[in-house]
Amino acid sequence: MAIEVFNRYEKKYRITDACYRKLRERLLEYMEPDAHSRDGEFYTICNIYYDTPQNELISWSLEKPVYKEKLRLRSYGVVTPEDKVFLEIKKKFKKKVNKRRTKLKLAEAYAFVESGEIPKQQPYMNAQVLRELQYFLKRMNMELRPALFLSYDRVAMFGKENKEFRITFDRNITTRRYDLGLHYGIYGDKLLPEDEWIMEVKIEDAMPLWMTKILSEFQIYPASFSKYGTEYTRYMLGLEEREEEAALTDESTYKDGIIEE
């Protein structure tokens, strides 16, 4: 049964492909690949992030407040409207992450976010989480709409002694702000260089001493990084640049005495 409630700290690091390969071998002394990452194989995660037309959720998140939240729809690989996905609300308070999610068919999830009406209860749904999601949608005045598609390839590991201790490695982060559905496929712009990984260490309390020593051994240091936040910052910079170019073009046209209908 898939875990639907998470409470943990998440520490992020940016590492090169060469570092990943050496680090992974070192970690195998203390950790095991999860069922989808045997022999270093990856699995693909696809997400739709929801936001208001004014991008209030991500704008607020980038201010680094004590409390922030986001809504996203997640699938493992490309899915059809009848396949099951996860609709989840992710909250962060004083650096601790709380994630609550429920399974829905993709078509049910689309309809739920758009209408705010909880779908007919099915065995695979978490009724309590659905009510929490409904409350969140209403609190946001039903203004949330698909804002970003974001996918990545992931390799995951968990501790041999503590199964709750997890490390994930993500690469090939792909984003787009069009065709905002999980059923369209994986394509778009790359967020990071090809040889770079985002490593996330997920812990309930303190970092294991052996992990602290390995991070020191490889000279790996924490990095503040948000996939959605990084894409949004880049998107806004590009928008500003396009507006400046348009303004310069208009000014040049006016000076040349050219008016085009």
Q: Could you tell me how many residues make up the chain?
A: 261
Q: Report the topology of domain 5-228.
A: mRNA Triphosphatase Cet1; Chain A (3.20.100)
Dig out the tokens for 149 from the structure.
């598609």
Each domain of the chain, given as residue ranges in start order, spans: 5-228
Cα separation of 79 and 102, whole Å? 16
Neighbour-count burial for 242-251, b at 16+ CB within 10 Å, e otherwise? eeeeeeeeee
**Whether 104 contacts 125, CB under 8 Å:** yes
Cα separation of 114 and 174, whole Å? 25
Please tell me the pTM assigned to this model. Answer: 0.90
pLDDT tens per residue across all 261 residues of the chain: 467 888 899 999 999 999 999 999 999 999 999 887 777 789 999 999 999 999 999 999 999 999 999 999 999 999 999 999 999 999 999 889 999 999 999 999 999 999 999 999 999 999 999 999 999 999 999 999 999 999 999 999 999 999 999 999 999 999 999 999 999 999 999 999 999 999 999 998 889 999 999 999 999 999 989 999 999 999 999 988 877 777 666 665 556 655 443
